[in-house]
Amino acid sequence: MFELGREHPLRRLLAGLVENTFTAEVGICDPAVTEYVSGLLVDFVHVDRIFRLRTVDGEAIRDLSRMEAEAHLVGGADQSRRARLVNRYIGDFTLFWTGVYPEALRPRCSGADRLREYLLQGKRSYTIASELTPQGEHPPAELLRALSDEFEFCVHGLQLVRGELERLRAESRSN
């Protein structure tokens, strides 16, 4: 599987942009949140990580309702762990799309407003994941709760990070 090391330039760039933007522009000064969000961006660099939930046939699950159903498929002791992991993933997935590519969620013609659906589901999923996170688990419940509580601010921060990445890209092309 694709993995960027701790000192990889892309990881360092994204970490710096997220930390600076979230702290200076958005007002989120929590290092745990900024580290998590920059890690999310690095994790989702590869498209297979964005669509990591799969059907039994190996097909990527792209629909939120199907993702949510995945959280309830396994019974027994593994149910809580699976629900936590899937809800965390849904939170990550919705944060990524609403923050980095919100235009992909806006209705075309008379379609549903998926942006609002993703915002609500992201907050909800991080809350559920936080409630299912046992003591000592990573990421801690407090961080997942903070992501839920600050979801819209994180979305705004990611939109600003995207803008900065686009500015850097345009700048590098002109040099």
Alpha helices in the chain, H assignment, sequence order: 9-20, 31-43, 47-50, 64-70, 78-100, 114-131, 141-149, 151-174
Other beta carbons less than 10 A from residue 35's beta carbon: 15
- The answer to whether residue 4 is domain-embedded is no
Q: What is the mean pLDDT of residues 114-124?
A: 94
117 pLDDT band, cuts 50/70/90, is very high
- The answer to whether residue 3 is domain-embedded is no
Q: What is the mean pLDDT of residues 55-70?
A: 81
Total domain count, the chain: 1
Nearest-angstrom CA–CA distance, 140 and 150: 16
Statement: residue 129 has pLDDT above 80: yes
Statement: residue 93 has pLDDT above 60: yes
pTM of the model: 0.89
Q: Which domain holds residue 24?
A: 9-174
pLDDT at 70: 73
Statement: residue 10 has pLDDT above 60: yes
pLDDT at 69: 80
- The answer to whether residue 156 is domain-embedded is yes
Q: How far is CA 54 from CA 35, 60, 66, 76, in A?
A: 27, 5, 10, 21
pLDDT at 68: 81
Percent residues over pLDDT 90 in the chain: 62
Name the most confidently modeled range: 43-52, 62-71, 139-148.
139-148
pLDDT at 78: 76
Statement: residue 139 has pLDDT above 90: yes
- The answer to whether residue 159 is domain-embedded is yes
- The answer to whether residue 1 is domain-embedded is no
76 pLDDT band, cuts 50/70/90, is low
- The answer to whether residue 94 is domain-embedded is yes
- The answer to whether residue 119 is domain-embedded is yes
- The answer to whether residue 100 is domain-embedded is yes
pLDDT at 109: 62
Q: Report the mean per-residue pLDDT for the chain.
A: 88
More confident call, 67 vs 125: 125
